[in-house]
Amino acid sequence: MDSGDIAWMLTSTALVVFMVPGLALFYGGMVRSKNVLNMLMMNMYCIGIVPVVGSWSLLHRQLTRR
């Protein structure tokens, strides 16, 4: 991979990780008070899913290049 590709992937990942808590608070403000914790946790699960999907796609890309 080119160094520019790696820099872009790291930058994009950092932006998504910083975006998720903001979206969690935004969506938490849009639901009733009894559902706020559930909405916050659903959004925080994205932090665990994004690295898995990103790693899978990078691995798939590397395996198909050869």
**Structure confidence by residue, pLDDT tens digits, 37-59:** 999 998 888 878 878 887 888 78
Instruction: Compare 28 and 66 and report the one with higher pLDDT.
Output: 28
Q: What pLDDT does 47 receive?
A: 78
Q: Which residue has the tokens 């998720």?
A: 20
Instruction: Compare 6 and 11 and report the one with higher pLDDT.
Output: 11
Band of the pLDDT at 5, cuts 50, 70, 90? Answer: confident
Q: Which residue has the tokens 């849009």?
A: 30
Task: Please state, in angstroms and rounded to a whole number, the distance separating the CA atoms of residues 28 and 37.
Answer: 8
Return the number of other C-beta atoms located less than 10 Å from residue 50's C-beta: 15
